Amino acid sequence: MQLNREALTRAYRQMKLIREFEERLHEEIQTGEIAGFTHLYCGQEAVAVGVCEHLTPRDKIVSTHRGHGHCLAKGCDVNGMMKEIWGSQDGLCNGKGGSMHIADLDKGMLGANGIVGAGAPIAVGAALSNKIDGPDEDGKLAISIAFSGDGACNQGTTFEAMNLAAVTKAPAIFVFENNHYSEHTGDAYAVGTSKDIASRAEAFGMKVWRADGTDFFAVYDCMREVLDYVRTPGNGPAAVEFDTERFFGHFEGDPQRYRGEGELDRLRATRDCIKKFRESVTGAKLLSDEDLDTIDADALDAIETAVQEARKAPRPQPENVLDNVYISY
């Protein structure tokens, strides 16, 4: 599908912002200023952006422990996110969520999740709410997306969520990002299917799609079809598997001894979604290298500003410990 100049620029800006956000965190984690675990999204940017560029404010997403890319792609504020990761009172979750639990309900981002497979049931609940709300003036439903991977596809919570979505015909989409490692174990060993992750959703009677997750345009075109299907009342849920790669370890500090010699260098050279995007749009003369270089510089400036603001932002005080922890009706 041909995108206009504005849409191409926006997509590249989003991918580059995610990439620079994560590359900077990879450096900052080593300073000891950031508490807790972080799981970086570098390499998978085309999936988050290719999916979320289609979404409306009514649509909801639920993320994983590797959630920074999904948050930014859904429109979460980069400064608020950085402050949250630094543990600031001014962060999106007042410094209580940190890297693995960032949420912004106003943006339709229902939260990253530190428990593998725990996002799928939340997404189905949101999808049922969308179904009850009914279609918009164009006859289309709002949808909910559960991002997960080759680890979560093995969890009972994911199976139960897929079954519930199928039974209730909830407008939910299960997006499986297969980066080929379930934590430290290769998917060929850890995922017991004769075909692929998507075939597990087929077992629940769902319609499924598959696409190259390192190609933004493949992701974007695939999601357009998936969303057209799920937004139609009565069709129910769907699933899609994107074949992608992560460039850093499962978590920061992971020595990645499970990878083959030269594997990461090969992946960065041949499977980098941002390099592939640049080659596609410059080769087709849709955007110039100068256009893209300007976006690169802007992204670096935005991340530098976010880091500096996060460093000087106020930290939560002891009297705030119970704020926003327990809900009251």
| Interval 82-111: pLDDT, tens | 999 999 999 999 999 999 999 999 999 999
Token code pair at residue 269: 């050279």
Q: How far is CA 2 from the centre of its chain?
A: 23
The model's confidence at residue 2, banded by pLDDT at 50, 70 and 90, is confident
Going from the C-alpha of 313 to that of each of 90, 97, 300, the distances in angstroms are 7, 16, 20
What percent of the chain is modeled with pLDDT above 90?
82
Q: In what order do the strands lie in the sheet with 144-149?
A: 60-62, 144-149, 172-178, 238-243, 207-212
Task: Read off the pLDDT of residues 285-319 as tens digits, 9 standing for 90 and up.
Answer: 999 999 999 999 999 999 999 999 999 999 989 99
Token code pair at residue 294: 């300007």
Half-sphere exposure of 54 (CA within 13 A, CB side): 25
Q: Which of 38, 37, 35, 33 is nearest to 23 (CA)?
A: 38
pLDDT at 327: 75
This prediction's pTM = 0.95
3-state secondary structure of 260: coil
What is the rounded average pLDDT for all residues in the chain? 94
* 177 vs 57: CA distance, rounded Å: 23
What percent of the chain is modeled with pLDDT above 70?
99
pLDDT at 254: 86
Q: What class has domain 5-310? A: alpha beta
Half-sphere exposure of 310 (CA within 13 A, CB side): 28
* 205 vs 308: CA distance, rounded Å: 50
292: left (phi > 0), else alpha (psi -120 to 50), else beta? alpha
* 109 vs 130: CA distance, rounded Å: 15
Rg (CA), the chain: 19
